[in-house]
Structure 1
């Protein structure tokens, strides 16, 4: 047919796996389902789906999504493969839309997604790939994103993705794989088509900011700043964008000494936005190093350029530790951004939540 496999890691997916299988079996040459130690009837449902191109591999115990994906790769016999989560589905045009890009020499191709509520089946919104990522070297911005913003579920050249493989991560494996592919020089295509439907559930990692930060810290720390710096030497992005990527990366891995050093590099800039960012990031580094008086001066200087909720929040934390009044700063932060979780937690509990990176994506 197309020399394409659908690779489906599954764990306790008895309620959704049939939908996933039905969406893809006509589009691919084979389907590899890895039942990752499920305790429900996932295997039974797969076996009842009687099509000759389905292969079921069972893990005796639950090993996690990373290990399940690696097993999928080990059993794949086609040239190309399309990942499919067991609770999602392909749209009818999935393979015909994306395969031509791989045949032109790209290693991985991504497109947009439809997002549906997993519990009600209601359409939520379209998730479109940020246009800024589609520019030359634009994907390097993924090293700096302050949450695990995925760019979809890929179709890929099997030989190439086997070179990287998947580790034993239990969460954020797509984000980890994308960053490692970038560091390894993979040719990655971001398209404007929409051929994947993702179902969102309340318990998913993507709905937990705390979990996202934890997983991102783990992944970025495993890469390390020196490796990122070397990668960015060949980036086609403007120097100011590279500087910002370094700032966000360092803040997300918690290297406060290096963050303060890199932030100071832009103090001579004529751009108010960059001057604000330099002051804010140095303030974060100082506050995280318990130098609250020096940090407060940086946040006040940043507020003189632009009054932002994250500056008021972080200044409030500094004031608390300096035994100064802090609640008014938090109220002002919430007046600017009513759904600001750090400020809410600081106002209602012990003021300790420093916002490490700007809230608005305009700064990246």
Structure 2
């Protein structure tokens, strides 16, 4: 695997164990960068976090993402994997380095997808906790201090603050101060929360970005499925839940997600939907599934198949015309409800997005919460 990458920081490929470096020097650099001395101890204990950023053509946003990770004192490693970008993503990531010796930037020679990039980062890091950060998103200040309380979890996620790209500015947005209200997600709730709700924009539980315990992934041999370029998070987390993972959720906001037009479902490739459908088929073959879990997986599988059939119809319409696409659909009548329903609801989604574009500029959260009452 190493032949595909080079470490930008040294201009040569070199496996590095960040946590085996001189810790006194590391903590000293953190202190010089202005981190809260009370929290510096996190760099030395089992709360040390590796932040993984898979990036493709993200030169305009990657520096903000990296800075947001490096300002968190619990973060011991930040690994940026430049997935064969056509712009200055790697250089922009390096420009955000704070001198604390925590940032490493790797570049793939060819595009391999976010799952492969994240797996590479997992294998080339050593912090006991793993956090995923998308290249156009950012952490809200103090995220890990709030998130890592307690040890009753294998995965732990917090609320997401959504910001429309057109309305996002360079300053950190004000997030609602919600009570944590910790609870545990079960497997059925998680799967159901990943079934798209028409007319609801980015509303699925699958958008949560949990911190993961490396030990759980290693014990159960879990890694991202590299064939997936859509739903790779859903697939990994579901397989972990099927292995007995404890998935804790708190309602306070710690992750800022920038909503982009090209991140909507209509941009997914047909093959991506087909691969996600096949991942569900494979999980359904897991021995010992309870009836509720199997039923939830089947519902997710049917939803993915319907999206695939619509995408396949639209591809054929674009390449061969409406008449040929319609004839093809009539030859597979079971696909007609998905195609007709999908076209109608996509139009509805467009109306919803236009209404949201005219709505308040205030950020909106994925999950509802109870505001903290200031005494």
* TM bin (shorter chain): 0.5 to 0.7
Match of 2:163 in 1: 116
Match of 2:86 in 1: 39
| Larger helix percent | 1
Gapped regions of structure 1 (runs ≥ 5): 256-286, 293-312, 318-329, 342-364
Alignment partner of 1:29: what SS? strand
Alignment partner of 1:77: what SS? coil
Match of 1:164 in 2: 222
TM-score normalised by L of structure 1: 0.60
1:232/1:121 CA distance change after superposition, 3 Å: same
For 1:50-199, list aligned pairs within 5 A: 50=97, 51=99, 52-101=101-150, 104-121=151-168, 134=184, 136-142=186-192, 145-146=195-196, 149=204, 150-162=206-218, 163-168=221-226, 169-199=228-258
1:210/1:3 CA distance change after superposition, 3 Å: closer
User: Residue 134 of structure 1: CA displacement?
Assistant: 5.0
User: Residue 136 of structure 1: CA displacement?
Assistant: 4.7
1:226/1:105 CA distance change after superposition, 3 Å: closer
Gapped regions of structure 2 (runs ≥ 5): 1-42, 307-329, 350-375
TM-score normalised by L of structure 2: 0.58
Alignment partner of 1:39: what SS? coil
User: Residue 83 of structure 1: CA displacement?
Assistant: 0.9
User: Residue 32 of structure 1: CA displacement?
Assistant: 1.0
User: Residue 210 of structure 1: CA displacement?
Assistant: 7.3
1:191/1:171 CA distance change after superposition, 3 Å: same
Confirm or deny: 8 A CA contact 1:3 1:79 kept in the other structure: yes
- 13-22 vs 222-231, which moves further: 222-231
Confirm or deny: 8 A CA contact 2:280 2:301 kept in the other structure: no
Report the Cα distance in structure 2 between the residues aligned to 1:188 and 1:157, rounded to whole angstroms.
Answer: 11
User: Residue 142 of structure 1: CA displacement?
Assistant: 3.1
Structure showing greater relative contact order (alpha-carbon pairs closer than 8 Å, 6 or more residues apart):
2
Match of 1:252 in 2: 303
Report the Cα distance in structure 1 between the residues aligned to 2:148 and 2:245, rounded to whole angstroms.
Answer: 16
- Larger CA Rg, structure 1 vs 2: 1
Equivalent residue pairs, number: 261
Confirm or deny: 8 A CA contact 1:8 1:84 kept in the other structure: yes
1:230/1:289 CA distance change after superposition, 3 Å: farther
Residue 25 of structure 1 pairs with residue 76 of structure 2: no
Match of 1:321 in 2: none
Alignment partner of 2:230: what SS? coil
Aligned-residue Cα RMSD (Å) equals: 4.0
